[in-house]
């Protein structure tokens, strides 16, 4: 990317709408009420032939204490310091406010490249606000309508020379790290690389410590945290290297029971988090060790398994536990009893506050990812199937014998297997679970979702579709006899 653009301004001036316009996707949550965005969200923007990173920030507030708004402001100010270009957005319809004047003075001191944009400037209603924006002393305001896409051409012509200037100041070109063709061919399991980082989502109930855990992995306070429950709203993705493994980690909003979710923004936040799970390869279900395996935790874990994602269960706030051995045994017993569909999945204890247990979490994530990508040869599967059916033959309901003819793996991520059989409608679910548990044990696939499909082959006759034919010599003999007796009755007399 050639440069980084940070979008800042008061709450509800249209920053997230402009962000979605630049990235070409509805990534950021948008609503009429102010203060929806709280964290910094990054995206790959495209404007003409320009390619750059755009950052959507929280609305600037006139607060400097340790409250939620104060922490949001400090996070936004850090984004301004790190960005190459700052796009300061004001509301053309509301006009310039005293807060806008204060923030304009701050931006003049902090960032060399500041672009003033008057959003919602379509029609006559925004003309007055555009004229007032001249008084901010940041040059001629750019008339924009993020919702309707107006002013994008003008923004391109402003950014183009700035991009060239920023690129010229850099010491050298960026180097893309990629896996060589030889390495790619040699790997049966494609380990995460810089070109293909591991996609990880962290999900759980509100206030379980998801953002704190990700900040500990990143080694910096990148995500907004605090004692308040439900701080995170957007599903924020952050690229990092976790103990040598390239990853893209998704921080999601806390998921409460559906009946308790009445606020529109919270509904959007939960939907955004569920979408992040579908993008992920490995999902870390984060529990609060003080109240683990509540009903909502079980639903969240079941959702990740249903979506076919590799699952790692992590119990957070382990530093607060006094009797650790007894608590660990209780956690394992509850896990095996309440989540049988995730039998064998890794259960690790961590402390997001102190960083203890991150090495165990890293090892569990890599193991789950490798199992999720595992492939078993057809020959081994059929040898295994013969042994399994010999040890425990399928039932014969109504006297109809069920035959499991052969088995093959049709896909990975997660592993899926097809068994060709007869009378598949009569195979009980318990026998399917018997085979799935056997696959987990014998092929070392703990925890990962396994899809087992029975297809009815039936007792097909391979010669049924062929035309009946007579051997050649007999056919010639019959044809010769028919020629000699042509026109004569059966007795041989005329």
184 lies in a domain? Answer: no
| 76-85, 141-150, 277-286, 298-307: least confidently modelled range | 76-85
User: Does the pLDDT at position 259 exceed 70?
Assistant: no
| Whether 151 and 214 share a structural domain | no
| Whether 407 and 307 share a structural domain | no
| Whether 234 and 331 share a structural domain | yes
DSSP assignment letter at 254: -
Strand 245-251 versus strand 142-143 pairing type: unpaired
User: Does the pLDDT at position 489 exceed 50?
Assistant: yes
Q: Which residues pair with 413 in a beta bridge?
A: none
Joined together, the tokens standing for residue 327 give: 């608590």
147-168 b/e with 16+ CB inside 10 Å = b? eeeebbeebeebbeebbeebee
Ligand-binding annotation for 137, yes or no, is no
Ligand-binding annotation for 38, yes or no, is no
User: What average pLDDT does the segment 211-237 reach?
Assistant: 79
Ligand-binding annotation for 9, yes or no, is yes
Counting beta carbons within 10 angstroms of the beta carbon of residue 22, is it exposed (0 to 12), middle (13 to 18) or buried (19 or more)?
buried
Rounded-to-integer distance, Cα 198 and Cα 282, Å? 8
**Tally of domains in the chain:** 3
Ligand-binding annotation for 469, yes or no, is no
| Secondary structure E strands in 255-352 | 282-288, 310-316, 347-349
| Whether 425 and 352 share a structural domain | no
Structural domain containing residue 385? 378-459
The whole-number pLDDT of residue 60 equals 76
489 lies in a domain? Answer: no
Predicted TM-score (pTM) of this structure: 0.69
Ligand-binding annotation for 201, yes or no, is no
Instruction: Compare 458 and 136 and report the one with higher pLDDT.
Output: 136
Q: Which residues pair with 119 in a beta bridge?
A: 91
Ligand-binding annotation for 322, yes or no, is no
Return the percentage of the chain with pLDDT > 90, whole number: 39
- For 367, phi and psi rounded to 5 degrees? -65, -45
User: What average pLDDT does the segment 268-282 reach?
Assistant: 79
487 lies in a domain? Answer: no
Ligand-binding annotation for 318, yes or no, is yes
Ligand-binding annotation for 211, yes or no, is yes
Ligand-binding annotation for 204, yes or no, is yes
The whole-number pLDDT of residue 261 equals 55
| Whether 100 and 237 share a structural domain | no
The whole-number pLDDT of residue 175 equals 37
* Average pLDDT of the chain to the nearest whole number: 82
> Where residue 200 falls among pLDDT bands split at 50, 70, 90?
very high
The CATH number of residue 132's host domain is: 3.40.50.300
Ligand-binding annotation for 119, yes or no, is yes
| Whether 363 and 430 share a structural domain | no
Domain boundary at 343, 372, 401, which?
A: 372
- For 324, phi and psi rounded to 5 degrees? -65, -45
Ligand-binding annotation for 210, yes or no, is yes
The CATH number of residue 435's host domain is: 3.30.300.20
Q: Which residues pair with 418 in a beta bridge?
A: 408, 453
Ligand-binding annotation for 10, yes or no, is yes
109 lies in a domain? Answer: yes
């Amino acid at each position: 990317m050639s440069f980084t653009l940070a979008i800042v301004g008061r709450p509800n001036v249209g920053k997230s709408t402009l962000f979605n316009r630049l990235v070409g996707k509805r990534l950021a949550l948008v609503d009429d009420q102010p203060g929806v965005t709280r964290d910094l969200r990054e995206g790959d923007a495209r404007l003409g032939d320009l390619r750059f990173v755009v950052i959507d920030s929280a609305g600037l507030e006139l607060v400097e204490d340790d409250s939620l708004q104060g922490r949001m402001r400090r996070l936004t100010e850090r984004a301004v310091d790190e960005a190459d270009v700052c796009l300061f957005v004001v509301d053309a319809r509301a006009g310039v406010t005293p807060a806008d004047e204060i923030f304009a003075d701050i931006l003049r001191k902090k960032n060399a490249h500041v672009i003033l944009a008057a959003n919602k400037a379509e029609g006559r209603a925004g003309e007055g606000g555009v004229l007032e924006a001249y008084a901010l002393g940041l040059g001629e305001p750019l008339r924009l309508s993020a919702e309707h896409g107006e002013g994008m051409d003008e923004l391109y012509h402003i950014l183009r020379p700035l991009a060239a200037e920023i690129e010229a100041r850099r010491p050298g070109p960026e180097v893309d790290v990629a896996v060589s063709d030889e390495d790619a061919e040699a790997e049966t399991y494609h380990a995460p690389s810089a070109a293909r980082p591991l996609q990880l989502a962290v999900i759980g109930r509100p206030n379980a410590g998801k953002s704190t855990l990700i900040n500990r992995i990143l080694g910096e306070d990148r995500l907004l945290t605090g004692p308040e429950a439900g701080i995170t709203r957007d599903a924020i993705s952050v690229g990092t290297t976790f103990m040598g493994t390239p990853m893209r980690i998704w921080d999601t909003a806390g998921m409460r029971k559906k009946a308790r979710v009445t606020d529109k923004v919270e509904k959007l936040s939960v939907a955004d988090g569920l979408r992040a799970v579908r993008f992920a390869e490995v999902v870390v279900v984060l529990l609060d060790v003080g109240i683990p395996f509540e009903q909502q935790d079980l639903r969240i874990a079941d959702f990740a398994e249903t979506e076919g994602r590799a699952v790692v269960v992590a119990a957070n706030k382990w530093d607060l536990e006094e009797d650790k051995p007894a608590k660990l045994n209780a956690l394992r017993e509850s896990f095996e009893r309440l989540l049988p569909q995730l039998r064998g999945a890794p259960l690790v204890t961590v402390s997001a506050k102190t960083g203890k247990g991150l090495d165990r979490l890293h090892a569990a994530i890599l193991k789950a990812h490798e199992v999720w990508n595992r492939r078993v040869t057809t020959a081994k599967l059929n040898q295994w199937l013969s042994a399994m059916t010999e040890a425990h033959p399928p039932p014969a309901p109504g006297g109809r014998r069920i035959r499991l003819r052969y088995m093959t793996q049709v896909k990975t991520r997660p592993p899926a297997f097809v068994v060709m059989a007869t009378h598949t409608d009569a195979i009980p679910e318990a026998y399917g679970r018997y085979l799935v548990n056997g696959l987990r044990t014998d092929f070392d696939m703990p925890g990962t979702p396994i899809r087992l499909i029975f297809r009815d082959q039936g007792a097909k006759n391979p010669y049924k579709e062929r035309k009946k034919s007579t051997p050649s010599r007999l056919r010639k003999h019959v044809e010769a006899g028919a020629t000699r007796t042509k026109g004569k009755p059966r007795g041989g007399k005329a």
